[in-house]
A and B are shown apart, each in its own frame.
Chain A
Amino acid sequence: MENFDVIIVGGGPAGLSAAISAANGGMKTLVIERGDYPGTKNVMGGILYTKATDMVVPEFWKEAPLERPIIEQRLAMLSGDESILAGYRDPDWAKEPYNAHSILRVKFDRWLAQQAEKAGVMIITETLVEDLLYQNGNVVGVRTGRAEGDLGAKVVIIAEGVNNFLAVKTGLAKPLKPASVAVTVKEVIALPKEKIEDRFCLDEGQGATIELYGDSTAGMMGVGFIYTNKDSISIGVGAILASVIREQWTPNDLLENLKAKPYVKRLLQGGETKEYLAHLIPEGGYTQVPRLHRQGVMVVGDTAMLMNSLNREGSNLAMISGKIAGEVAAQAIKAGDVSDQAMAVYEARLRDSFVLKDLYHYRHMGEFFENNPHLLKIYPKMFSKAAKMYLTADGTPKKQRQKEIMQMLFEQRSKGGIIKDIYGAWRALL
């Protein structure tokens, strides 16, 4: 049996970041990936954050296959054919130090894997890890699906993605529930560069994002998104699986529904769909974070439920968790102590960082939306109605119109209900 210091299960951003930091710490490091090469099994909406990535590969933007630096983030609230828009644009984000880029994971993850290899990491592909290996209750390696496929390791880092098979097998995580994942589908739609730049009012090479709430998910807890790539657009929609089941939607119908919205349709017009993808997003939040470590094992990235969906941050949480886990593994191995206590340094450092602080900050959010399924159904409608009444010039005096608007709002939702919703949102989000 071949032996390594650190074995990482899964070649996504979390696993590859862990591999790079373990190898930089002098560890003999192996990544085991089930796809043809790292990237071919990996999906996300498509936003990569600069700061976290820079901490893993300094000045990555000079070489990495990125799509567009994001200079504008728009929010849309859809109600039927109506939309309410807000946004923030800063052309400075097109320059160093940047904030975020759109990416396509097949290209980007492959590049990140090459950086790991440059750091001395070994990567084996087309290999599925089936279980961990134990000796006297201690983790000593992994069992792969290959013949004579046992591999030894002092520390195993589980970066298997949202489907947490191994984390469950080790007893660290529980099987996921329909309320704690969002089923998400996406299309990559080819469109000429100039058309993208014209339609989104961008200078050459710049990118924009739009997150769409309300009728984009038929009022279910979730979000639609549109991200500009170099010569394509990623458009997708995700909603909590429990509500998709309850409301009897099929994910593709939700996506087609979003694509047909007047505000969206025009952005995509003439484009050619190149790929249709599906993925789960871990939405359990702080209360569903599994145990993050045990003797010889750490859990990172999506497997650890490290996702801040409100701010659309996931890849950065994954990479920082991976980086820290790789460092902790190297320190522990050098000190000759891979006990649960030694691995606990990983959790302590995560708690000290924005990763678990942000999850903790939003710990009431999931419950808030789960217990108030009316929010994304009635408020987009109320706001649209209010905007339409306010902006329609039909000779009604404004004072009277404002009164009518207030009346309309309270017809849709009682004063007490509105106060309750505002208080709940305040508590969940601020």
Chain B
Amino acid sequence: MKLDDKLYLVRFNTDKLNHIKISDPKVCLNQCQDKPCTRFCPAHVYDWDEEEKRISVGYEGCLECGTCLIGCPYGNIIWKYPRGGFGVSWKNG
């Protein structure tokens, strides 16, 4: 089963505000060869945008596990919880 189809099953109350920021996009471009965030995020929130030469962040699909905050080798992802009441809302848990 494809990840996109799985994410379609998740219930979100999407905030207008983005709760994820890349601290310094230049670090992704120049220092980070491997871009592990594009793989280790269970929801594939992070993707390398070849045209724009930066990591694109699909915060709307964030499952709020916190892996990115810990996994980014440059500590370059500023990940916080969405505002109270927003974000993922599990049906089963």
**A contact set with B: CB distance below 8 Å:** 34-36, 39-44, 104-109, 125-128, 144-146, 162-163, 165, 175-178, 181, 183, 185, 187-188, 232, 241, 244-245, 248-252, 256, 273-280
Which chain A residue lies CB-closest to B6? A276
> What are 27 of the A-B contact pairs (CB < 8 Å)?
A35-B89, A41-B64, A104-B92, A104-B93, A105-B90, A106-B91, A107-B92, A108-B93, A125-B84, A145-B83, A162-B66, A163-B69, A175-B69, A176-B70, A177-B70, A187-B6, A249-B40, A250-B39, A250-B40, A250-B44, A273-B1, A275-B9, A276-B3, A276-B6, A277-B93, A278-B65, A280-B65
Q: Which residues of B are found within 8 Å of A185, using beta-carbon distances?
A: 42
Q: Cα distance A303–B14 when bound, in Å? A: 26
Interface flag for B20 (CB, 8 Å): no
Which chain A residue lies CB-closest to B39? A250
The answer on a CB contact under 8 Å between A277 and B40 is no
Which one, B44, B71, B92, contacts A178 given CB within 8 A?
B71
Closest beta carbon of chain A to B81's beta carbon, Å: 6
Q: Which residues of A are found within 8 Å of B63, using beta-carbon distances?
A: 277-278
The answer on a CB contact under 8 Å between A278 and B89 is no
The answer on a CB contact under 8 Å between B39 and A249 is yes
The answer on a CB contact under 8 Å between B3 and A252 is yes
Which chain B residue lies CB-closest to A176? B70
Q: Which residues of A are found within 8 Å of B80, using beta-carbon distances?
A: 165
The answer on a CB contact under 8 Å between B89 and A274 is no
Q: Cα distance A34–B82 when bound, in Å? A: 9
Q: Which 3 interchain pairs have the tightest Cβ spacing?
A: A126-B85, A105-B93, A276-B6
Q: Which residues of B are found within 8 Å of A278, using beta-carbon distances?
A: 42-43, 63-65, 67
**B contact set with A: CB distance below 8 Å:** 1, 3, 6-7, 9-10, 13, 36, 39-40, 42-44, 63-67, 69-71, 73, 80-81, 83-85, 87-93
Q: Cα distance A277–B61 when bound, in Å? A: 12
Q: Cα distance A348–B69 when bound, in Å? A: 32
Q: Which residues of A are found within 8 Å of B10, using beta-carbon distances?
A: 275-277
User: Known contacts being A183-B65, A276-B7, A278-B43, is A34 close to B85, with CB within 8 Å?
Assistant: yes
User: Known contacts being A128-B83, A279-B65, A280-B67, is A40 close to B6, with CB within 8 Å?
Assistant: no
Q: Which residues of A are found within 8 Å of B64, using beta-carbon distances?
A: 41, 278
| Highest count of chain A CB atoms <10 Å: which of B67, B71, B85 | B67
Q: Cα distance A127–B9 when bound, in Å? A: 25
Q: Cα distance A423–B75 when bound, in Å? A: 37
Q: Cα distance A27–B51 when bound, in Å? A: 58
Q: Cα distance A176–B66 when bound, in Å? A: 10
Which one, A41, A177, A256, A277, contacts B1 given CB within 8 A?
A256
Which one, B7, B40, B81, contacts A245 given CB within 8 A?
B40
Q: Which residues of A are found within 8 Å of B3, using beta-carbon distances?
A: 252, 276
Q: Cα distance A245–B81 when bound, in Å? A: 23
Q: Which residues of A are found within 8 Å of B6, using beta-carbon distances?
A: 187, 252, 273, 276
The answer on a CB contact under 8 Å between A241 and B65 is no
The answer on a CB contact under 8 Å between A163 and B66 is yes
Closest beta carbon of chain B to A331's beta carbon, Å: 31
Closest beta carbon of chain B to A70's beta carbon, Å: 18
Q: Cα distance A44–B93 when bound, in Å? A: 7
Closest beta carbon of chain A to B70's beta carbon, Å: 5
Q: Cα distance A341–B13 when bound, in Å? A: 43
Which chain B residue lies CB-closest to A182? B67
The answer on a CB contact under 8 Å between B71 and A241 is yes
Which chain A residue lies CB-closest to B89? A40
User: Known contacts being A183-B67, A241-B70, is A251 close to B42, with CB within 8 Å?
Assistant: yes
